[in-house]
Every structure is written in C-alpha cells, then in structure tokens.
Chain A
C-alpha cells in the first residue's frame, strides 16, 4: 500500500461545527487530492494541491477549504459542517498530473454530520 494515512478514520459531529481531516503521506509525492464518495456518484474531487501552499479547487469545492504547509500533510476543513457533507472522504497522492501517473488512495474517513 502507498504510504498514506488518513485521520480520523471515523467522525460524528453536529451541524455547524468545524471539522478538519488530515492526510499524511510518506511517499514525497508532489500532488495530493481530496475526494468525497457518495452513493450513486463516482469519486468527486474537492480540492487538490500541487505543492506546499499551492492548492486549487475541484468539482465540489463549496463549503471546503484546504491547506498544505508541508509536503507530507494535506488538511481538509469544513468550516461549518452541514448534513450534505456527510460522506466518505478519501485522500489521494500522485507523482504527476500530466505524465499519466495513477493516483493512490488512503483508506478514507467516514464523516457523519448530525
């Protein structure tokens, strides 16, 4: 398995609270990604990072922010969680975005917003 650790693995919280999910990699890959996975949908990109302090929006970025202060860590923050953000969140890493390299995934964080 690629060296990707997501924490926490499970979290239950209430609407309106802030939530931060962490992704840690030991592969020294430049690119890191946050996806959400919901029934009836393929994985959807929230945000990605192409280097320290360099991030960009994905397909479903509203209500989410990210930060990358170190190569190995990529944080996803829900500023004020809503029930529609209940989902399974996956972090992924890749060496490249343009040279046809696959993304490798962590084992996910299951987040429930009550």
Chain B
C-alpha cells in the first residue's frame, strides 16, 4: 500500500513571497502524483500533476518537484496571492494494487496581505 504525509499542517506567507508545500510518500513504486487545492466549503481542485519519468513540471505560477530517491515532492507557488489561501494536499497513485489514490492530510496556506 501507500501512505502519504505532509510536513507542515500550516504555513503562513507574506503576499508576494513564494510558498513551498512539501509531501512525502512511502511506496517507491508509485509513479503518478497530483496536487490539489481545497477552499473552504469546496471540493478539491486539481492544480498540477507529475509522472515519475519527470522531476519537475511547471504550470501557471506553480511548479511541482519530484525527488524519487527520497520519495518527496513539493509544490512551489510563485508570488503568492490572497486567493491562494487554501488547504493544499498531494495525492499519490498506488499502482501495486487497485490503482487507488492516497491523499495526504493537507497543509493550510494562509497568505498575509
């Protein structure tokens, strides 16, 4: 199986600074990873994904880094804005069994104006 953990339950950053949210996973066979954003009262919203044949992928103001050696991935948000305040969590696909996604518990990002 798979277990997923995030390093910090909360993170506060100044508006305009960069944010880094971390996630660790346990199964070295995992090969697909997703970051989600969840705002209060809403469902998780897909941000960006990465496959294990890559170590970096960029989107609009977001970058995901994957380090398969230490089983760690991170989400970097550039020039953080108040609208980025939310809970962020990673999901890892466990392809050794039933192809289920395993989710971390999330990091609550607060952007200070």
Q: Which residues of A contact B (CB under 8 A)?
A: 1, 4, 40-45, 56, 58-59, 90, 97-98, 100, 102-108
Contacts and interface: CB of A to CB of B under 8 A. Distances in A.
A100 B48 CA distance: 12
B43 A45 contact: no
A97 B99 CA distance: 6
Interface residues of B, number: 26
B40 to A, nearest CB: 11
Interface in B28-69: 31-32, 34, 36, 41-46, 49, 51
Contacts of B102: 42
Question: Binding site of B, secondary structure by majority: helix, strand, loop or mixed?
Answer: strand
Interface in B88-103: 89, 91, 93, 95, 98-103
Nearest to A58: B100
A107 B93 contact: no
A109 B99 CA distance: 25
A40 B89 CA distance: 12
B46 A107 contact: no
Contact of A106 (B31, B32, B43, B105): B43
